[in-house]
Amino acid sequence: MKISRLLPLIVLLNLVAIAQEVPSVLRPPKGSPLALVVFEDLQCPQCARAAPLLAQASQTYKIPLVQHDFPLPMHNWSMNAAIIARYFDTHSKATGDAFRLYIFEHQREILPDSLRGFAEKFAAEHKVDLPFMVDPAGKLSGLINADRDLGKSINIDHTPTIYVVSDKKTATPYVEVKDLSQLYATIDAMKKQ
């Protein structure tokens, strides 16, 4: 058989191999051709700077923003903030997302002892009851630990770690955005693939 006839088969096999190597976390949700994926820590100053830009890019391009909790061990209230955010997620994803943006906005004012007060103020403004014990069974912290394990499985070692991910079977189905000033350009480039 001539090599020219084998070439399409070789290309197809390479695309299948690439698709199998891409971790599911680096693919957009079903039905979306593109998405933004971020591993973030609610106490991370860089995450606080990135969060509004990611939310705006998600709205501008009408693509999902998939957030994964990745609280870093050196931050003394980030795990508790993530648990509270997950609690608000149980009421609605929009409420959880709004809480995350609220925490990022007030991040410099928050201390371990004042986090609860910020959460109570947010809950009152959004007409959500905040129980004394937010996660008594440990279910929410289990979800956060699963996110952290997922991040470690793809070698996440810093926050924020931001990806633009595509459902296309190309050589570059995902790209890490290391410079936020290049976020929109990266999304545009992924759309053109």
* Residues 20-192, CATH architecture: 3-Layer(aba) Sandwich (3.40)
Q: Is the dihedral of CA 172, 143, 44, 125 positive or negative?
A: positive
Structural Rg of the chain based on CA atoms: 19
Whether residue 7 is predicted with pLDDT greater than 60 in this model: the reply is no
Mean pLDDT of the 114-141 span? 97
Whether residue 125 is predicted with pLDDT greater than 90 in this model: the reply is yes
Whether residue 6 is predicted with pLDDT greater than 70 in this model: the reply is no
Q: What is the pLDDT of residues 90-107, one digit of tens each?
A: 999 999 999 999 999 999
Least confident of 45-49, 55-59, 124-128, 168-172: 168-172
Going along the chain, which residue ranges are E strands? Answer: 34-40, 65-69, 161-166, 174-176
> Residue 53's CB: how many other CB atoms inside 10 A?
16
Q: What is the pLDDT of residues 9-59, one digit of tens each?
A: 444 434 444 445 678 899 999 999 999 999 999 999 999 999 999 999 999
pLDDT recorded at residue 85: 98
pLDDT recorded at residue 5: 52
pLDDT averaged over every residue in the chain: 91
Please, which pLDDT band fits residue 170 given cuts at 50, 70 and 90? confident
**Contact present, 79 and 152 (Cβ < 8 Å):** no
Mean pLDDT of the 142-156 span? 96
Whether residue 126 is predicted with pLDDT greater than 50 in this model: the reply is yes
Note the residue count of the chain: 193
* Percent of the chain topping pLDDT 70: 89
Closest by CA to 68, choosing from 113, 35, 107, 20, is: 35
